[in-house]
Chains A and B, each alone.
Chain A
């Protein structure tokens, strides 16, 4: 028997998400992912001062504002043909790195953990679906204890970011040309002290809890595989090479496909709109992207476009960064740690393509990033500049490609007559939660849901567990808005 299951709102993610699945005899055979909130930032940015883009683009998302701040500032750097001085490059890495820790800790404990353990019997932890909680009372209580501890740890991660960014969310210091912040010894000390506490938490609590959950839910290493193709722009600049495809980054740029890592050519990224509510031509490069809304398009079912690389579906995020690292640098400490964790859990490399694999990749990445940040802070040079002079030509084009916590984030800008003429964003969740493309191929989350067991359509916890493993961030993912709206339910019915 085929049943339509709707989960709306899908809570404990960033933003407004509606998931629909067709369940046939207890198994998902088809899924659609739909965003239910639109602001129209790309329209809003048009005609504004280019420098203002960095501040406004941060407001795409209050969970990952640093990623948009850095991508947007790199977009302007690229347009202006400049690179930040070392201090500026490092300060951006530190502001972003702190927020990676904040975002990953928040995601695992405060968005995901309640899928696997029962919280206290008080709101907002009740009501809940009474199903499939497998930890012992003692183990479950320990994770809840860590949930509360993690609330304080993520506050500290934001404090770290604010030491160099002024405030979080929405930092004041990240600008075209680098950072306005001056690295001084009191800030360096304040940052390192908090980082040290966070590293202890990651090593002794976060990583252990991932293993606890993984051991209790081994079937989730076989659930939610997704499309199998992975893409990352790389992230955290380690030098000032102008060409981003040649720049040394802490996580490298690349594509993982069929066991190999291939080079990434940004020119091969296009956005399809066959199933999105846009009348503009499909299959355009983002730098030429158009966003002509058509709310009455019969084949549309989402405001999210379908980004594709060389006509192929790609997943982005910690799993992508991890698989590229495992392939390119199997002897690195992080790659070894991933292999060690897989062995401990009795899993193989292919199991990383799963709900548990995504959580594991995210947690281990948090550790190695936090460890690396100690070195980065110590490379700061008080007294030297953090920001390059800005030539600010009347007309210019640029792009910023950068991985935020949730994956590959691209910003594209065209400046004409000193104002923004065109601004396009492809956010990580645009890739992961994309609808079907021109060829009718579903997006990564939609593919990951197919095959999921949903024995009780009134209790769709399995759907939520799979979707949340991607860490969706809906506010980021949606493109332009039209005042000619359309009732979502009319077109998302499956």
Chain B
């Protein structure tokens, strides 16, 4: 049986009247890439800060590596690497000096530290920038430096708190690949994000949070199975009559339709060949259609169905949350 690396039981954290964490429980096993998914303000960072004993909590219990986590659990802290959502490095130190400084907080042996720093440099691809100061680095390189500072001491548990915010797609992919590589090298990863694609891409298990509560937990397939929707079909069509819409909703596995005068959205639950049946209706009535596409449910659909709201604001920037 896999060992439990992090065990959180009934965690409660209040900021005055606001409940940031409401009886939150979680168990993360060794070797996992565990995703903590939720919109801003859902309690992800608060959970991490409580896990690291950087933040006092009102109720509950946290165990890491089988031991109760307290502010003075320095032996446990030494085995954890943290990568914050804000880049926390010294602007006055070079790339090498920064990694060396943070690595030196864990490893005192100079030779070993140098080896670890160079491995972190190689891992993050910062070799060419060792003598650069952070202000001279691009956003992506800064994020990589932030990661290098967090992993140089080879922690058993790595916590990444939204490490890809404001990072270009190329750098983001490199970061995600790096996280998977770290996991393959034996580290357990806790990854918080509000980017569902990232979480879907790399996490072996996911917990979805909202308003300080865990609303769902499981693998991405398990989560998707929790909801009614299994397929969403979208058809661009003009002037669709009520009769045709009624015919479509009568089709097997279709449980809901939406039409805005230009686009018909058909929600299906289970079944196969749903798209063919829908298109057959249009062919029968000789209705010309534009683009047609079928989508499998995403974590956003899971979030939407469970909470009644979207994880991400579709109207605005793709990274802006509702």
Question: Do A and B actually bind?
Answer: no
Chain B residues close to A by CB (< 8 Å): none
Residues of A that sit less than 8 Å from B by CB: none
